[in-house]
């Protein structure tokens, strides 16, 4: 009996140690590396001075520790001082090519798409129910398509696939999926967006039986 108790105690201690190790490793993964931050700022400055002949500001850095963006881990968050853009853009070292590039084209198209979707979502689901609208194009899309970032065309002119996430501050209703289908059709017809992924999620007060997201590839 005594041996059994010791085995149980040893097992509990082992589990606690294992949990502590996992927590520590996770914590390390969340921390930024000061050397990486310093390097991305330095290289972004060189990149911007070489590519753009205009004033800019590096306002912060981003560490993508949860792999939202496959193109980079560290990026410099940047803005042009004289353009009055309603967004900031990223300068980063591409994970595959090792080349520095920027996300100015992606940010421009995201703003264009957001400007189209915001009034449409407010009308469809009700402005008071829109908790979050998040979207992204591949951050290297300008580089992929060879687009001059000083003369960016409308997103209508290119076949690029956005990822969109809409969050409502309520539970799921019967016709939500039909409404989402209609939004997709309007993007296809008005913006020539023929492919992408969209998620409609719900932020209700349920603890256990939360409503499932509606996910659509188109």
Domain residue ranges in the chain: 34-102, 105-217
Which pLDDT band holds residue 8 (cuts at 50, 70, 90)?
low
Distance CA 196, CA 218 (A): 6
- Residues 16-34: pLDDT tens digits? 454 444 443 344 445 789 9
The whole-number pLDDT of residue 26 equals 41
What was the pLDDT predicted at 204?
Answer: 75
- 67 with 83: CB under 8 angstroms? no
Instruction: Provide the phi-psi class of 98: left if phi over 0, else alpha when psi is between -120 and 50, else beta.
Output: left
Note the pLDDT tens digit of each residue in 75-87: 999 999 999 999 9
The burial class, CB within 10 Å (0-12 / 13-18 / 19+), for 99 is exposed
The separation between CA 153 and the C-alpha centre of its own chain, rounded to angstroms, equals 22
CA angle 30, 33, 35 (to 5 degrees): 170
Q: What is the pLDDT of residues 115-154, one digit of tens each?
A: 999 999 999 999 999 999 999 999 999 999 999 988 999 9
pLDDT of residue 13: 62
> What is the pLDDT at residue 27?
40
Is residue 116 within 8 Å of 133, Cβ to Cβ?
A: no
When pLDDT is averaged across residues 2-7 and rounded to a whole number, the result is 56
What average pLDDT score do residues 34-49 get? 97
Q: Which of 116, 104, 124 is nearest to 156 (CA)?
A: 116
**Residue closest to 78 by CA, chosen among 35, 41, 36, 113:** 41
pTM of the model: 0.83
Q: Which pairs count as long-range contacts for 112-117, CB under 8 Å and 24+ apart, including other chains? A: 112/154, 112/155, 113/155, 113/162, 113/164, 113/187, 113/191, 113/193, 116/187, 116/190, 116/191, 117/164, 117/183, 117/187
Q: From the CB of residue 40, how many other CB atoms can be counted at a distance below 10 Å?
A: 26
Give bridge partners of residue 56 from the DSSP assignment: 80
């Amino acid at each position: 009996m005594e041996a059994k108790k010791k085995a149980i105690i040893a097992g509990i201690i082992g589990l606690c140690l294992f949990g502590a190790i996992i927590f520590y490793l996770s914590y390390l993964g969340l921390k930024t590396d000061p050397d990486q931050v310093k390097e991305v700022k330095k290289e972004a400055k060189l990149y911007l001075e070489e590519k753009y002949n205009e004033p800019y500001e590096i306002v912060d850095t981003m560490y993508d520790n949860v792999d939202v963006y496959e193109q980079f881990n560290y990026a410099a968050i940047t803005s042009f001082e004289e353009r009055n853009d309603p967004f900031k853009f990223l300068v980063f070292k591409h994970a595959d090519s090792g080349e520095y590039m920027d996300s100015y084209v992606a940010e421009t198209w995201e703003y264009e798409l957001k400007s189209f979707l915001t009034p449409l979502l407010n009308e469809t689901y009700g402005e008071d129910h829109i908790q979050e609208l998040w979207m992204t194009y591949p951050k290297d899309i300008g580089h992929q398509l060879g687009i001059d970032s000083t003369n960016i065309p409308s997103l209508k002119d290119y076949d690029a696939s956005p990822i969109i996430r809409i969050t409502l501050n309520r539970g799921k209703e019967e016709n939500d999926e039909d409404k989402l289908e209609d939004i997709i059709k309007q993007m296809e017809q008005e913006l020539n967006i023929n492919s992408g992924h969209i998620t409609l999620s719900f932020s209700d007060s349920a603890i256990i039986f939360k409503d499932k997201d509606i996910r659509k590839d188109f």
